[in-house]
Structure 1
Amino acid sequence: MSLKKEIDDFHKNIKYQLPKQSISTLQDHKFQIGTSNVGNRRNMVKVKAFHYALLSSKRSKHGTLFRSDEIIWEDIEQNQYYFEKELIEFALLCLYLTNIPLGECIVKRVGKKDIVVVRIQEIMVEQLTNTQQEFVRYEIQKHSIRRGITFGADLELMLKNEKSKKFMNADILTSNEFGFDQAIAVNNHQVFHPIVEIRPKPAVTMVELHMNLLTLYQQFESQAAKYQLSAITDPNPIGRFFLGGHLHFGNIPFTFQHVRLLDQFVTIPFALVERNPSVLRRQSYGRLGSVRENDFQGFEYRVLPTWYQHIPSCLPLLLWVEYLLKNSEEITTRLIDQKFIKAYYNQEKGEKLFDQWVNENRDMLMEDLGKSLFDDYISYLKNL
């Protein structure tokens, strides 16, 4: 069987049949579109991938003395810089948002923070090397192996002293399951970790994960009260610090279809009722499709803002996510309506828009169990 036929069959099996979108689609998600002539050409990365599986990643170099305008590409391999890791994730996100499961994307850093999309295109099987073609086959075969999914989470928050109203160093309450994020702040030559992470033990069901979360929630609240600290859960409490509610999945295929299900059926309705959303977070760390491969043969879904404050009542959210991922091959995704994408990035919400989303998406579920869990999730959101 040809590799193209294998890929087509694979996409039919996982119900991934979305049409390719143009590069201009990325502007709806607050991306900048540019050219390789903008800024330093050495800060470019070129990624070739099948879904989230990297087929190659290359960095740009200056051309020779006589061809200074020439772009030379070299393999990144293992010795990548931190900013290159960020650019690779950014390029994969671009391929996801334009529905190009086998494609190539070039992105570049401009200045200290901005990232520009230079080029994105679909690639044909014939353009792959023999090694890359075999790797794609390996990925397809790997996804056919069924194993028990594991579930985890890390929920971010910040601590504020109730008397002084100052943010506190996260290590005041850290333990094996209370850690801190990599984000740092420096004050009087001292390094602080302002973001706390709640890290429950992995579980084989969402009911078990919820029980683990509840235990940690109660422990954390008790310790915070002891030190007269308050948990701050705004998605962007101050400056450059953003708080997410990340979900972790192990032993699960890492495909565009699985991420699309979470974007379409979890995040969009959540965003339409979120009380204190952050435009800055949604346009950066919280963009739709923001994911990262993990060490447990799965991925981390990083789009949701922190939901630490909702832990006691969040079981409907967790059960809904579990159903979506365990039934991913039975649910057909579609392009997210433009009005919901616009609402997401511009903080638009309201009962009318929320009801429109419910009416347009409930009928996509065929099983009674799915509809029941969908309804439970909607009731949960209405009570946030």
Structure 2
Amino acid sequence: MESYDLIFDTTANSRDVSDQVVTPEQTLAPSIHLEGTPSTLAEPMRVLNDKKAVAKTSSREERNSCLKIHGIATAEKVGILKQYIVCVFQTNVLLTYRTRARKAWLAQGQNRIRNQITRVQLEDDSREVRRVRTLAVRALYALGLDYGLVRVAIQAGNRVSIIDVNPSPKLNDEMKSVFVDAVHEYISMLPRAAVNLKQVMLGADPEFMMRHSDGNLVMASKYFPKRGRVGCDAIWHGQDRAKKPLVELRPEPTTDPRELVIRLYQGLRTASHKVNEPNIEWLAGALPHHQFPLGGHIHFSGVSPNFKLLRALDHYLALPLVLVEDQRGIKRRPKYGFLGDYRLQFHGGFEYRTLPSWLISPTLCKGVLAAAQLIVARYPELTARDLHELSVQKAYYEGEKEVLRDRASRLWGELTLLPEYKTYQKFLDALSQYLFSGITWDESKDFRIYWKLPPYSRK
């Protein structure tokens, strides 16, 4: 697969970029390699649409196999009620078109299917359009691409699925303009992509659940309000929406991982005063109850999400955590905990949603938050591209620890070489020791004992 070389020049205008990334046939270059970038930028930052990912996408069978591993449905060009054409550059949806088939009656009495193509406004926030755009971005990410045209189908039952992903589409003038501008903006961003640790504001909303010693769920809504620093998650149990089983901690954000851990602990202390009962167990992890997967979402401000950043979090945080997860938690994926899961937030930042609840222990909590800030601040210097391999993706989703162990060790070793690692070395070294100890957490065990929360703190 041919890769187009693009000279790195932050002073270049959109026309200069267009001349280098749009082919004479008016298609988008399938792969772009940036020449002359600063030496501090690792190779993944210099490549848009890795050639191996492009080759994988060109095979329908290989593409669909990859999407299936990620839990993304695919569709053939039959049984489609409606089709969307979505132009995507990393986390940004640039353009959306909608096609609706209609019959055109001909003079001979036969009919022919024509497609009406209409532009969907960027401001359209309807549920269907949101689902389509979210799936298009997710599919592009799963395939290891940075940009492309994604065809999404609406089928019976309002099912949304992927028809096709094209990294080198034929461009109309509108498409050409938005893709060229997106590449130009990416180039302009590169010199300031890496930031100081203290520029990364951290927040979190990890979840846990409560279970009575007789095995019955204890509703969080019995003890906690919907809002507040300790509250209920929005998910409900059974038919009664007032019954909410998940507790969510919502500490005030900070640029200091140590301070965030203290605020999380204070939230746990507040919760323990309200639920100070030894016959009620507190459970964290990925899937301590088969109906309710738990998340350890981390919020970031001061940086903007892009695929390079999300892939760094997947490589250097999500993959190593597989080594210590309870085997029962694997079933959380891929519906939840899929690679690159993120959500934009009202405060202008985003939350990374792939991780399970890391409230299992203080060691895990401290290390995960410190590593997250380090990775987000310095991701342009990180080199990993392991997740371009289908076997590594499969190992993540199926929890194949032995397949990932050596890779995770190598990835963690790369983090230790960053000068900023020393800032939180105590937390990070403790997490490293835990990750590579061969131990796995037990999701059926009350995690309060590790935090020395009542009633265990009195023993």
- TM (norm. structure 1) is 0.83
Letter in 1 for 2:101: H
* 5-14 or 260-269: bigger deviation: 5-14
* 309-318 or 321-330: bigger deviation: 309-318
Q: Aligned match of 1:316 in 367, 376, 401?
A: 367
- Stretches of structure 2 lacking an aligned partner (at least 5 in a row): 1-11, 22-31, 58-62, 106-111, 442-459
CA distance in 1, matches of 2:100, 2:428: 50
Instruction: Describe how 1:38-57 pairs up with structure 2 within 5 A.
Output: 38=79, 40-42=80-82, 44-57=83-96
- Matching residue of 1:361: 411
C-alpha displacement of 1:143: 6.4
Q: Does the C-alpha gap of structure 1 residues 12 and 73 become closer, same or farther in structure 2, counting only changes over 3 Å? A: farther
* 105-114 or 75-84: bigger deviation: 105-114
Mapped pair 1:225 → 2:276? yes
- Matching residue of 1:100: 145
Larger Rg: 2
Aligned-pair RMSD on alpha carbons? 3.4
Instruction: Describe how 1:321-332 pairs up with structure 2 within 5 A.
Output: 321-332=372-383
Aligned length: 379
Q: Aligned match of 1:348 in 378, 391, 400?
A: 400
Instruction: Describe how 1:177-326 pairs up with structure 2 within 5 A.
Output: 177-187=229-239, 191-225=242-276, 229-233=280-284, 235-238=286-289, 240-311=291-362, 313-326=364-377
Letter in 2 for 1:356: D
- Matching residue of 2:129: 84
CA distance in 1, matches of 2:155, 2:400: 30
Instruction: Describe how 1:368-383 pairs up with structure 2 within 5 A.
Output: 370=421, 375-381=429-435, 382=437
C-alpha displacement of 1:377: 3.0
Letter in 1 for 2:373: E
CA distance in 1, matches of 2:190, 2:420: 25
Q: Does the C-alpha gap of structure 1 residues 364 and 243 become closer, same or farther in structure 2, counting only changes over 3 Å? A: same
Q: Does the C-alpha gap of structure 1 residues 339 and 68 become closer, same or farther in structure 2, counting only changes over 3 Å? A: closer
CA distance in 2, matches of 1:307, 1:113: 35
Mapped pair 1:37 → 2:78? yes
* 199-208 or 170-179: bigger deviation: 170-179
- Matching residue of 1:62: 101
Q: Secondary structure at the match of 2:340?
A: coil
Q: Secondary structure at the match of 2:247?
A: strand
Letter in 1 for 2:433: S
Q: Does the C-alpha gap of structure 1 residues 107 and 238 become closer, same or farther in structure 2, counting only changes over 3 Å? A: farther
CA distance in 2, matches of 1:105, 1:279: 29
Letter in 1 for 2:369: L
CA contact (8 A) 1:224 1:230 kept: no
* 149-158 or 80-89: bigger deviation: 80-89
CA distance in 1, matches of 2:149, 2:171: 14
- Matching residue of 2:448: none
CA distance in 1, matches of 2:127, 2:368: 33
* 117-126 or 259-268: bigger deviation: 117-126
Identity across aligned pairs (percent)? Answer: 21
CA distance in 2, matches of 1:55, 1:223: 48
C-alpha displacement of 1:30: 3.9
CA contact (8 A) 1:10 1:140 kept: no
CA distance in 2, matches of 1:126, 1:58: 13
CA distance in 1, matches of 2:236, 2:121: 27
Q: Secondary structure at the match of 1:327?
A: helix
C-alpha displacement of 1:301: 0.9
Q: Secondary structure at the match of 2:297?
A: strand
CA distance in 1, matches of 2:341, 2:352: 7
- Stretches of structure 1 lacking an aligned partner (at least 5 in a row): none
